Structure 1
């Protein structure tokens, strides 16, 4: 069962149609990216998922519960961090967490568990006003993780963070998925972070889902990988690659050749090229460029 299901959803604000029949799902244990330019419909979609606004048509379900028909059950296992979370700066981090836990009747051990998960144990009793932006983001994530949600919504969670803070936040999210079995829906403008963090990504533009991409396997079958080769003479490369059984889908792209190969077969390929007197300048695993795909689907669709 999908943790989040968005089915044929439409939404208009005034006379303007913002969301135009979008469909996607987030599976258990998955980190799902949601990308698009400003005004594409990302924030409107998130507001509908968390119940701040209602869709005009279609359905949204969380853990099998429809947010309109059974909103309390749908949101019972939902956590969210929207940009810079608001906290009581004059209270300690622990006091902020205890207030939320008391309202939601969450046991103290759960508080201690999330504090350790977000790596704030040594500063949790300090006033939030003394926290850095990165620490405030981690505290906001701790608040969202109270109650061990099945779905975590992150809207631009690394805005304003320095590289170290971004790395810390990324690792915390990965640990939350692993330890709490939480699925994550993340909207971000930082494409490199999405590529490193997410399993799949959806591109939205003008209120429509333009494409869904698999970032883990890069649309290559399990047990295979993509490589790129820069070598000379160029005329010999394709003939050699075509003669190797572990190689398929050989394509020339500019000055390099790209191919799908069985994992672990790179040494055999290098040996075959050298034996045919091909000079190898570079050979590396090819990663799908999320930035390039973004430009093709979103910027190119304007």
Structure 2
């Protein structure tokens, strides 16, 4: 079941089109990554998804409710952690959660379940202002999960966290998605985090989605691989490489060749170069998996 459906959404700021007809969906229990460089349109998209701004064209549906036509109903299924959580510093973690619970009619039992899920049992009675950044992020996530949303939106959720905090946050999100059947939308520019956390990923650049791919297919069944190659005859090597039908792209920088080839054709490339009396000083693969796809789709090729 599609929890979030975005169809041909466009957004203009003045005469400039920021978002250029993007479409995607996020399914129940799925963690969906939104990956792109700064200025690609990630933040503008999130602001539209949470109802802060409206698209000029297209539609956004949450649980089949149109965000423009049935705004209150659509947003009732939404939880979000955008940037750093803003909670009351003079209250404890539990008091902050109970404030939200009272407003929304949520039981104390559910508050306790959330506290256990986010792993703050030992510090939940401490003042929020005394929390580390990682603990604040966990409590912010807990606040977003209190109403048991069908769609959880996370904007750069691990910014500023140490490695331990990142691991903890990742496991909480995975557990919540699996146990509660939530759809999770994660916007980030951190490649490794998206690869570790998400099931599918959309690559966005200049307001356009370049591709939407399954993470497992991207990381394990990639049809291309990138090689770093050092020889003593780079000019000759380049003239040979450019005519090979299994070579997609190449670039020479600082006496090192970067070559994108069809997966599995490294031995063929080596044989071709050796036959032309080109000695290979060093060769190795780089930009594997998601990183390679990002370079191809967003950065325009090898780097």
TM over 0.5, yes or no?
A: yes
After superposition, what is the alpha-carbon deviation per residue over 1:203-235, rounded to whole angstroms, capped at 9, x for unaligned?
Answer: 1111110011110244879xxx99x9xxxxxxx
Give the TM-score, by structure 2 length: 0.77
Contact 1:218/1:287, CA 8 A, preserved across alignment: no
| 2:198 alignment partner in structure 1 | 198
After superposition, what is the alpha-carbon deviation per residue over 1:27-49, rounded to whole angstroms, capped at 9, x for unaligned?
Answer: 11100000111111100100100
| 1:47 alignment partner in structure 2 | 47
| 2:147 alignment partner in structure 1 | 147
Superposition pairs for residues 227-266 of structure 1, below 5 Å?
251-253=264-266
- Kindly state the Cα deviation for residue 189 of structure 1 after the two structures are TM-superposed: 1.7
- Kindly state the Cα deviation for residue 295 of structure 1 after the two structures are TM-superposed: 1.4
| 2:30 alignment partner in structure 1 | 30
1: distance between equivalents of 2:152 and 2:220? 28
Superposition pairs for residues 1-302 of structure 1, below 5 Å?
1-218=1-218, 251-253=264-266, 289-300=289-300
Contact 2:151/2:184, CA 8 A, preserved across alignment: yes
CA 1:219–1:188 in structure 2 vs 1: closer, same or farther (change >3 Å)? closer
Contact 2:219/2:290, CA 8 A, preserved across alignment: no
Contact 1:6/1:60, CA 8 A, preserved across alignment: yes
Contact 1:218/1:288, CA 8 A, preserved across alignment: no
2: distance between equivalents of 1:149 and 1:256? 52
CA 1:219–1:14 in structure 2 vs 1: closer, same or farther (change >3 Å)? same
Return 5+ residue gaps in structure 2 as ranges. Answer: 226-261, 271-285
Deviating beyond 4 angstroms after TM superposition, the runs of 4 or more aligned structure 1 residues are 254-257
- Kindly state the Cα deviation for residue 195 of structure 1 after the two structures are TM-superposed: 0.3
- Kindly state the Cα deviation for residue 253 of structure 1 after the two structures are TM-superposed: 2.9
2: distance between equivalents of 1:201 and 1:20? 18
SS in 1 for 2:12: strand
| 2:278 alignment partner in structure 1 | none
After superposition, what is the alpha-carbon deviation per residue over 1:89-111, rounded to whole angstroms, capped at 9, x for unaligned?
Answer: 11100111111112222222111
Aligned residues: 249
Contact 2:9/2:21, CA 8 A, preserved across alignment: yes
SS in 1 for 2:216: coil
After superposition, what is the alpha-carbon deviation per residue over 1:179-213, rounded to whole angstroms, capped at 9, x for unaligned?
Answer: 11111000112111110110000011111100111
2: distance between equivalents of 1:157 and 1:209? 21
CA 1:109–1:21 in structure 2 vs 1: closer, same or farther (change >3 Å)? same
- Kindly state the Cα deviation for residue 287 of structure 1 after the two structures are TM-superposed: 10
Contact 1:210/1:297, CA 8 A, preserved across alignment: yes
SS in 1 for 2:265: strand
Return 5+ residue gaps in structure 1 as ranges. Answer: 229-248, 258-285
After superposition, what is the alpha-carbon deviation per residue over 1:134-170, rounded to whole angstroms, capped at 9, x for unaligned?
Answer: 0000000000001111110000000000001000000
RMSD after superposition: 2.4
1: distance between equivalents of 2:73 and 2:298? 35
- Kindly state the Cα deviation for residue 251 of structure 1 after the two structures are TM-superposed: 2.6
